[in-house]
Structure 1
Amino acid sequence: MSDVAGTLPSTRPSFLRLPYLRWGLVAIIQLFLIAIPLADRFDVQRNGQVVPLELVPVDPRDLLRGDYVIINLAINSLSKDLSEGDKIAVGDKIFVGLQAGAGKAAQPVVVSVERDNAGDLAMSGTVRSLTENEIRVDYGIDAFFLPEGEGRIIERLDTSRVLLEIAVTEDGRSLPLTLLVDGKAFQSDAAF
């Protein structure tokens, strides 16, 4: 008997018949998936408006990444009066309109579920809790990593001396850039 299966042409594309090309294709796809969040971070840093915000730091440690400051933004707690009658519920995506001051921390001026109603400079966040008078918001900015030993320095400072510069894009995305002490850069988290 003759081997008929050995004489039939393969239906797979020729470049997939070589194992190292298949593994190379898998590696390229994985690198692309890793690059997506980096590209988003680069876009926010490049196109975002830089705004200083007040914060209340606390200094814990991460055994793998060193010191970091937990970011507790002053604008995490907002007055319900800023919502201008919008029906806001826990879990809603909202936009907090900010008014930037020259060298001073930006202040919240309006809270809206619509980006267009929040003004020119607005951060997006998610409503975590509501009380009769307060809206608690999570902006996705919760930690700022520092070199070993520098977290203790920030922990000992009066919180009125510490600000966090963030970049905010037109669509409300934000990320931390620089930790400021007395108006001067203490440590930068900008990757680009």
Structure 2
Amino acid sequence: MRNIIVAALILAQVALLLVMAIGRETIVRHGERVWLRTSPVDPRDIFRGDYVRLNYDISRLPKALWGDAVATSVQDKANRTRYLREKTLYVSLERGPKDVATAIKADLTPPARGLFIRGAFQPGRGWRLGDKVPTFLNDLRYGIESYFVEQGSGLELERGRPEGINGTLRVPLDIEVAISKRGEAVILRHRWAEALVIGHEMSTVKAAGENSEYRLLSLQVYRSPAADETALLLPDDLRTLSLACGQQRIAICPDAGKDAAERPFTQDDVRVIPPLQEYKDIVKIPVARYHSGQWLSADGSRVLGHSEHEWQIAIVYDPPAVPLGLPAELLPGLYRRRLLSDNAWWIDLDAN
């Protein structure tokens, strides 16, 4: 009798594996294929071989994309974490250039039409509780976060940048997935994204004529050869840049505000980024310096704000959707969406 039970358990496990394999193959054959943008982190599992743990752009959804049911659940301060953890989230997707899909809505019921992916909320330290209502859903998981690759290539993908580049600059990965009609996803392959991206680098600099040192924050800009966008809007006053420092935003422009926002741009404010040929040619622009708990302008002449830590920082590129004063012929190729130099969990883009 005992042998029969053991055999039955073994057969049940084999049957389960077969069902899973058949289900995966069905999704691969018949699922809708799309690319998802991601940045890879945390390579190599010594027990399972090389793999990359993926963090997708759709793993973090701002409040503007929440459906009514999600928004209502988040408003319930006492029960939101428990309630959402028990629910399946359905994230509607929209195809963009090069078939890269972006999220357009997240809800607790599947949409009536269109492509969607099914996920779950697994809150980590990026989920802000307390009296403040969260401004984004962080740590969404879709069952496609582990990507196994050829032995020895995991570190290269995790590094996300060519040898010789320091700082936070990462070239994102695009992951092709097949998605079933029920929203289940399976990873197919990867490619390096053709993109214009930014990062930042902190370096220690000695003050001229002084014995003291400070930390210089520089913007890094990288463009791959086939990127659609080729230029950034970077006027001398850097009014398209700001610092995300913990839960506060710090302006870099000396007269930031309505007047700066309405000041017209000129052709000289458009900076064309050459495609990377040699790593030493990465574009670097000094943005700010940190010393004794203060953020100052790059030349040290103005105090921008205060912070306990210089490491908890990101540069935000946030240009206007319609740059005033620029001729129409300069708009093609100009990157006109928000960019972050670091996608760390603590960045609050809705902070004041």
| Aligned residues of 2:90 and 2:108 also touching (Cα < 8 A) | yes
Q: Which amino acid aligns with 1:169?
A: S
Indicate how the Cα distance of structure 1 residues 58 and 22 shifts in structure 2: closer, same or farther if over 3 A, else same.
Answer: closer
Matches within 5 A, 1:1-192: 28-86=11-69, 87-88=72-73, 89=80, 90-91=84-85, 92-117=87-112, 119-129=113-123, 131=128, 132-136=134-138, 137-158=140-161, 159-182=170-193
With over 3 angstroms needed to count, the CA separation of the structure-2 counterparts of 1:66 and 1:108, relative to structure 1, is same
Cα gap change, 1:85 to 1:29, in 2 (>3 Å):
closer
Deviation, structure 1 residue 163: 0.7
Are the aligned partners of 1:125 and 1:138 in contact in 2 as well (CA < 8 Å)?
yes
Select the structure that is richer in helix: 1
Given that 1:59 and 1:151 are in contact with CA atoms closer than 8 Å, whether structure 2 keeps it comes out as: no
Q: Please report how far the alpha carbon of residue 51 of structure 1 lies from its aligned counterpart in structure 2 after TM superposition.
A: 1.1
Tell me, which stretches of 5 or more residues in structure 2 are unaligned? 74-79, 129-133, 162-169, 195-352
Change (3 A) 1:52 1:29: same
The normalised TM-score by structure 2 is 0.42
Measure, in 1, the Cα distance between the counterparts of 2:97 and 2:173. 16
- Give the letter aligned to residue 154 of structure 2: G
Identity rate, percent: 25
Moved over 6 A (4+): 21-26
How far residue 164 of structure 1 moved from its aligned partner, in angstroms, is 0.7
**Cα distance, 1:27–1:151 mapped onto 2, change above 3 Å:** closer
Q: CA offset at residue 133 of structure 1?
A: 0.9
RMSD: 2.6
Query: Which consecutive residues of structure 1, in runs of 5 or more, have no partner in the other structure?
Result: 1-15, 184-192
More displaced stretch, 154-163 vs 74-83: 154-163
Q: 1:43 deviation in Å? A: 1.8
More contact order relative to length (CA 8 Å, sep ≥ 6): 1
The CA distance in 1 between the partners of 2:68 and 2:9, in whole Å, is 51
Give the C-alpha shift of residue 29 in structure 1: 4.4
Distance (Å, rounded) in 1 between the aligned partners of 2:45 and 2:150: 11
Residue 24 and residue 52 in structure 1: after superposition, are their counterparts in 2 closer, same or farther (change >3 A)? same
CA–CA distance in structure 2, aligned partners of residues 26 and 52 of structure 1: 39
